A and B are shown apart, each in its own frame.
Chain A
């Protein structure tokens, strides 16, 4: 029996008040031709205890990242989330509230999101942040359409944007879906053998609406050249930078090297990889993009007594007011996960953020050193700087290494051809986090050695 319905067993009493005889009377307005005549072909209801049992059994069949030495990342990272975060974020007042349309009874979430906007703004070095996008890919896609709306009038290359060719397939596909309706042409920017964006090719992007690059890029490369891009493309072409948010504890805020819009996955602040969602995308921009940006924004104001108060603002950009002329269709976003992000960021503080970034990069450094000493494998970009991940060339397919080590309880990374289907199957992306231990690195190294012996047989 379902135990979630307070009025179960009282239907007749309530129907009688209305002068109705049966539940069927409540559905008399559904024309017979469209009525369902057979009951749902679904199992009977379960109790909480039965659901818990099934959930623990089924989800227990999954292999958690941190249950073993694991080097899978590529934009989602299993770093530690302080216990305070989920405990406070799931307080019912936060968890079960809707978008704060009534500011008088929603000051808590509004203030928390205004604080979130401030922390994101500080993190990326830009003045304005929204309350969140769905993820990094939709944030990138909507950054591009925002830039086109703002800059197309002045653009010499109308409706044209440039995207780094090192944006992986699954992210690029989202960008294509979001831009095709607006008739936007996407050109790709090539990279040199070090995995650096070609500054020569960037020159061609001047006069277009926007350039989208990632820092560090999908191969974990920290690309110095990106700091020069804005001076090449000029004022009327937007520089959009996709970031690994944690890297900004160590690496320069893109706003300080000319980025007009910064986007990225906020996930490592606040929540585990959670199979890719719910997570949250960050979106921050310069002031001249505010009126064309997507998503919710919180502003400071006051109440009728003059007390400080917060409210959603600039909603005239949004779908519920502007309908088909809205800047975006986004309505539900990822506020609760952004709240978790804000909690995590505020607990870390500026010094803790730097420490976290250093732990990530130290883990990658340690792993890289250990791996390159193995005979038969080499770094794909040996002359480049890496933040927390890097690509290694193997003597056989990455898939075979993954299979071999999986049976030994190790996840060595992600075959690059999963991210880029046309790339060499012998490349693997190895990702590290603050959770990578010396023991993990040693097991990975020993495992790769054992595999190489096997390959050579």
Chain B
């Protein structure tokens, strides 16, 4: 057990810095006495050799895509190409200031422009801003734009946002932050959008509907165009949660489905690494009528003049603030580094982004088939087969399985299965989401897993379903720590190190 707070070397052992360029005491004296720090921060005092070993040790106790298969549904845990990391380490990315003059940032702005155009094209939207730094912030930003649009056309009385009960939690949370009341509509018995339920709630107070398609069950909503029509006829706007965009690029798009606004998760579809929880990037795209509300800045371009030094490919790029912009949602230009990584990813595929989506769907359907159709001799040993969270001939990029039959058969629940999968060297699928599927496991393999990896996972999944129930309920067994007491953590709230 490596503990950073046990490193207590002498001051001299730490990181050396050059001398200040003015007298240290004089510099200190510029700060008023009662504003001077009286006691140093209780940080560890450690040398580079100790810390390199500490963080390497920590990294080995952490599971990433690089460690093994990561079928975490709704999170699109695809391979992160390493060239993208090399690119953002360049001084021309890492060491630039967002408020520097435009002639210092032409290269970055040309990449921004290309991304705006590409994202708009793929989603069938008219304008894009790269400002939001996470999917949830993209939702918030788009709902803010819709809010300002309604205010402009004198429809500010529209104070309700409709979300299906299968929606990501961020949808209602983001709309509530903008001041809307939330109407949650139940899914139909087949897990799909229920048009009657939608018709029953739309009206003069409808500001927007937020929905993801394919849904969180991994199935395409067949009635999406009709849903858009219902909402539009009531005067509401359609918002597309782009968390599941990886399933459809080149095959359909939110514009064709009738959406007015969409967010993209660059950390899902475009492989910005998740980094243990972030950074992300959540650009939004909108149709023409919402474009003037987008947050600044947006990049536009004109042919460069000869005297303009720093121009890229004959273009001169400028920052634009849309006329009725809602302002900023992050104080700089968004997560520019994430945009550049995603640009490199996009360039890797170009028009073959369609192939990318096709392979994501191929892998999901293949894995679903392999799990649901074990060989008879394997099936014999399984306590109970899971049931599909949603009956469908084909799914899109992910699928859900209910472990309820296993609960009934041997008292083993979804969490036990998830924890046991850790023992087999896998990250657990998304657990207990969407909430409309009991004992739900949500599995998204992504396009970057090989057939062999999928075959092996299905085989091991069947082994888990056949394991001794006691081994399952006490899983995991082969991990760095055994099952962690989360209740104790919440009751005792030990949120930092203390010397006691």
Contacts and interface: CB of A to CB of B under 8 A. Distances in A.
23 contacts: A4-B79, A5-B359, A17-B366, A29-B222, A30-B252, A62-B106, A63-B310, A75-B331, A96-B77, A98-B277, A105-B480, A113-B276, A123-B43, A180-B179, A222-B35, A273-B95, A309-B484, A328-B177, A332-B279, A349-B15, A358-B24, A386-B30, A387-B31
Interface stretch (B65-73, B374-382, B402-410, B462-470): B65-73
Interface residues of A, number: 209
Contact of A335 (B122, B178, B250, B276): B276
A256 B40 CA distance: 12
B22 A7 contact: no
Given A35-B256, A63-B104, A112 B55 contact: yes
A231 interface: no
Contact of A65 (B96, B278, B327): B96
B28 A276 contact: no
Interface string A310-330: 111110101111111110111
Nearest to B41: A122
Contacts of B32: 222, 224, 385
B417 to A, nearest CB: 12
A49 to B, nearest CB: 9
A94 B88 CA distance: 17
Contacts of B278: 132, 278, 332-337
Contact of B52 (A84, A250, A276): A84
Contacts of A156: none
A153 to B, nearest CB: 19
Nearest to B91: A64
Contact of B486 (A78, A301, A335, A437): A301
Interface string B326-341: 1111111111111010
Contacts of B492: 299-301
Given A108-B58, A300-B494, A348-B43, A95 B85 contact: yes
A355 interface: yes
Contacts of B43: 119, 122-123, 345-346, 348-350, 353
B153 interface: no
Contact of A324 (B7, B103, B175, B433): B175
A30 B394 CA distance: 10
A418 interface: yes
Most buried by A among B7, B38, B59: B59
B136 to A, nearest CB: 4
B482 interface: yes
A331 B85 contact: no
A345 B372 CA distance: 50
B398 interface: no
A304 B479 CA distance: 12
B91 A66 contact: yes
Contact of A93 (B59, B111, B476, B490): B59
Given A92-B67, A275-B332, A319-B170, A61 B41 contact: no
B136 A93 contact: no
Contacts of A321: 169
Interface residues on B, range: 35 or more
B480 to A, nearest CB: 5
Interface stretch (A19-27, A185-193, A204-212): A19-27
Contacts of A28: 393-394
Contacts of B61: 106-108, 111
Nearest to B325: A173
A250 B496 contact: no
B352 interface: yes
A14 interface: yes
Interface string B413-446: 0000011001000011001010000000000000
Given A303-B483, A309-B481, A311-B486, A128 B136 contact: no
Given A4-B448, A42-B121, A177-B144, A170 B331 contact: yes
Query: A-B pairs with the 9 shortest C-beta distances?
Result: A276-B332, A336-B275, A92-B66, A59-B92, A108-B62, A181-B179, A278-B279, A332-B280, A173-B327
A114 to B, nearest CB: 7
Contacts of A438: 21
Nearest to A45: B350
Interface in A48-93: 48, 50-52, 54-67, 72-76, 78, 82, 84, 86, 88, 90-93
Contacts of B103: 63, 406
A292 interface: no
A14 B393 contact: no
B330 A105 contact: no
Contacts of A324: 172-173, 175-176, 182
A194 B336 CA distance: 36
B58 A112 contact: yes
A237 B17 CA distance: 41
Interface stretch (A135-143, A372-380, A447-455): A135-143
A310 B3 CA distance: 13
A112 B2 CA distance: 11
B89 interface: yes
Most buried by B among A40, A414, A434: A40
Contact of A353 (B40, B108, B140, B219): B40
B361 interface: yes
A395 to B, nearest CB: 21
B105 interface: yes
A382 interface: no
A325 B176 CA distance: 8
A192 to B, nearest CB: 15
B192 to A, nearest CB: 11
A18 B51 contact: no
A352 B170 CA distance: 40
Interface string B449-477: 11101000000000000000000001010
A117 interface: yes
A251 interface: yes
A130 to B, nearest CB: 9
Contacts of A310: 484
A278 B337 contact: yes
Contacts of A42: 118, 121, 350-351, 353
Given A111-B58, A275-B98, A329-B140, A97 B63 contact: yes
A118 B35 CA distance: 23
Contact of B347 (A51, A103, A339): A51
Interface string B239-264: 00000000011111100111000000
A177 B1 CA distance: 45
A331 B134 contact: yes
Contacts of B476: 104-105
A288 to B, nearest CB: 13
Given A88-B59, A274-B337, A275-B337, 10 more contacts: A11-B359, A14-B362, A20-B365, A97-B65, A316-B490, A320-B170, A335-B279, A346-B43, A358-B24, A362-B24
A366 interface: yes
A18 B366 contact: yes
Nearest to B83: A48
B46 interface: yes
B60 interface: yes
Most buried by A among B64, B392, B393, B488: B64
Contact of B256 (A34, A61, A129, A330): A34
B274 interface: yes
A232 interface: no
B42 interface: yes
Contacts of B11: 349, 351
A391 interface: no
A67 B64 CA distance: 35
A321 B329 CA distance: 24
Contact of A118 (B28, B220, B497): B497
